Chain A
Amino acid sequence: MFSMFRNLVGSKTLTPEDLKPVLDKMKDHLIAKNVAADIAVKLCESVSAKLEGKVLGTFGSIASTVKTTLTEACVQILSPRRRVDILRDAMDARQNKRPYVITFCGVNGVGKSTNLAKTQVLRLLRLDSSVGRGLAPWPRGRGFEPQPSTVRAPTGWVDVCFWLVENGLSVLIAACDTFRSGAVEQLRTHVRKLNALHPPSKHQGREMVQLYERGYGKDSAGIAMEAIASARDYRIDVVLVDTAGRMQDNEPLMRALTKLVKVNQPDLVLFVGEALVGNEAVDQLTKFNRALADFSQQQPPRLIDGIILTKFDTIDDKVGAAVSMTYTTGQPIVFVGTGQTYSDLRNLNARAVVTSLLRA
């Protein structure tokens, strides 16, 4: 895409007029890569601001200046200013004899319930990697770092289980989607499968993953509260709260989510968004945060702490949603979902995403 800058050769000093046609093309490129239109405009403006007034010499320097400017702007947007270290924080919580609570929220069908189940496994994998097995080097794939499970021998799970016997962190999944048909059974199925992968026989008879459910139609904030209390009583280390999908403009449902967050004060509120989403990404995140702020009447409000970007396996190089979401919230993408099985969860590799983004 940088060949378009060729016609700038010879300009003495770059003016906004020089840059306009070129930046328009760049904007279109970003939009075609599924960056939300508003965000693409803002990115181009920032690149323009950085380049205006610069004196350019040969083609090489124009191309590299523009490329570096845009690349750096994107990498900066995608790089967390703050790291979310679930593992360390969960360990701390355990030391304080309280469960570590994560709430998953988002619009309908994005992958909340599935990735919540995955999170359980990823946590185990990360523990595993922290005991000494190295991560495979990136770049690999289109912007995520492989976790050990994908590069190790098939005995991987056994290793994880052994490791767990010594360190065992346990999980309670709170079924707080009390609306959508099959939501509870979906979680029950995940719990059964996860326990089959980590049988109690390997954990001193302890079920590592349990489900807290009260069926359908009940108040989700109340169920979450009971689940957390129960986790405290039974010394379960982590509570994962699954919530119903909801549209960002649906006020009653947004109020209900705010209530759940307000009364339970989870350690982490994760927004689950799919990489397939286009311009809506911006509106979804803005309005989830606004609802959490406006309806809670709490100072400071509990907002979204991080993002899980799902369905990354469906988009080829149209990686723009990652930029839209991080730009909108300033919060990190904590995990990337890359498929439907438990090991399909990765960490975001900002540079690899930017490479895909800028590739023609």
Chain B
Amino acid sequence: MMRDKLCSGDLGDELRSVIDFDEMAGGLNKRRMIQSAVFKELVKLIDPGVKAWQPSKGRNNVIMFVGLQGSGKTTTCTKLAYYYQRKGWKTCLICADTFRAGAFDQLKQNATKARIPFYGSYTEIDPVIIAQEGVEKFKAENFEIIIVDTSGRHKQQDSLFEEMLQVEQATKPDNIIFVMDATIGQACEVQAKAFKDKVDVASVIITKLDGHAKGGGALSAVAATRSPVIFIGTGEHTDDFEPFKVQPFVSKLLGMGDIEGLIDK
């Protein structure tokens, strides 16, 4: 039963096999023990053992967003900027997506609504140039959180992966965030790994957790990028955004209601 839950949670192959279910299969009275063991195992899996990157007050922190097409990067950029802005940081946004139709308008409208300064261009077609110019401009103006949004791309698109590397080199980000959609299935692991291999991904954000999806693919992404999940997206609005918490996430993944008793044992 637990095994089926894991299967229907979009866990990667490798991860599913970490837990040997046959070994654990005991009597019904052992159910709770098994649940507890699985729970602890999953909590361990989603903790890459790396401390999450934190921005430093009073200096420039450049954050670059990367991810597959439509995963929620542009929306999440504004969410993150807004999150820090409300905590008193001086934040801004840069649109380095010159590919997707309407990308700059999207970021511009989001930023305007949230009153966050932004930079982008309707005419420049090279995202590397925009990213570089934007970062220079905002650094000169002493912005603390400088967020760079990039186009969606996937590992099969060599030239776009190369472009991503160039944006990284031009902006020298302090943190690269891989944005992943909670509904993603078995392709997650290889895609996440490919991003990590190309640029220095250091954090993960899972989006669309307001839906039915539990985000099992996140475990694969964490394993592949060896990076902690830092935030989750829970809706389309700018404040539908929360810091990631391991235990509620895993208990939702396992479809377990009350987990308090399990973790303390």
Q: Which residues of A contact B (CB under 8 A)?
A: 28, 31-34, 36-38, 107-111, 113-114, 117, 179-190, 193, 247-250, 274-281, 283-284, 287, 311, 313-316, 318, 320-321, 340
Determine if B211 and A181 form an interchain contact, defined as CB atoms under 8 angstroms apart. Answer: no
13 additional contacts, CB 8 Å, given A180-B106, A185-B101? A31-B186, A34-B185, A37-B8, A108-B70, A109-B71, A111-B70, A113-B101, A190-B101, A276-B68, A276-B183, A277-B184, A278-B188, A280-B212
Determine if A283 and B70 form an interchain contact, defined as CB atoms under 8 angstroms apart. Answer: no
Which label, helix, strand, loop or mixed, suits the secondary structure of the B interface? loop
Once bound together, how far apart are the Cα atoms of A249 and B216, in whole Å? 18
Contacts of B113 in A (CB 8 A): 181
Which A residue's beta carbon lies closest to that of B157? A313
B136 at the interface (CB under 8 A from A): no
When each residue 66-78 of chain B gets 1 if its CB lies under 8 Å from chain A and 0 otherwise, what string results?
Answer: 0011111000000
A-B contact count (CB 8 A): 147
B259 at the interface (CB under 8 A from A): no
Contact of B185 among A28, A113, A318 (CB under 8 A): A318
Determine if A314 and B109 form an interchain contact, defined as CB atoms under 8 angstroms apart. Answer: no
Determine if B183 and A277 form an interchain contact, defined as CB atoms under 8 angstroms apart. Answer: yes
Determine if B69 and A316 form an interchain contact, defined as CB atoms under 8 angstroms apart. Answer: no
Determine if B213 and A280 form an interchain contact, defined as CB atoms under 8 angstroms apart. Answer: yes
Given A37-B7, A181-B105, the answer on whether A111 and B186 have CB atoms closer than 8 Å is no
Once bound together, how far apart are the Cα atoms of A117 and B186, in whole Å? 28
Q: Which residues of B contact A (CB under 8 A)?
A: 4, 7-10, 13, 68-72, 99-110, 113, 154-156, 181, 183-188, 190-191, 208, 210-213, 216-217, 236
Contacts of B185 in A (CB 8 A): 34, 36, 276-281, 318, 320-321
Contact of B4 among A37, A249, A316 (CB under 8 A): A37
Once bound together, how far apart are the Cα atoms of A187 and B105, in whole Å? 11
Once bound together, how far apart are the Cα atoms of A189 and B101, in whole Å? 6
Contacts of B190 in A (CB 8 A): 316
Once bound together, how far apart are the Cα atoms of A110 and B7, in whole Å? 23
Given A182-B106, A189-B102, A314-B154, the answer on whether A279 and B9 have CB atoms closer than 8 Å is yes
Q: Which of A117, A183, A314 is the most central at the interface, judged by chain B CB atoms within 10 Å of its CB? A: A314
Contact of A318 among B100, B110, B187 (CB under 8 A): B187
Determine if B183 and A182 form an interchain contact, defined as CB atoms under 8 angstroms apart. Answer: no
A-B contact pairs, 18 of them (CB 8 A): A28-B13, A34-B185, A36-B8, A107-B211, A109-B208, A182-B107, A182-B109, A185-B101, A185-B105, A187-B101, A188-B102, A247-B208, A247-B211, A276-B184, A278-B184, A314-B154, A320-B185, A320-B186
Contacts of B184 in A (CB 8 A): 276-278
Determine if A248 and B211 form an interchain contact, defined as CB atoms under 8 angstroms apart. Answer: yes
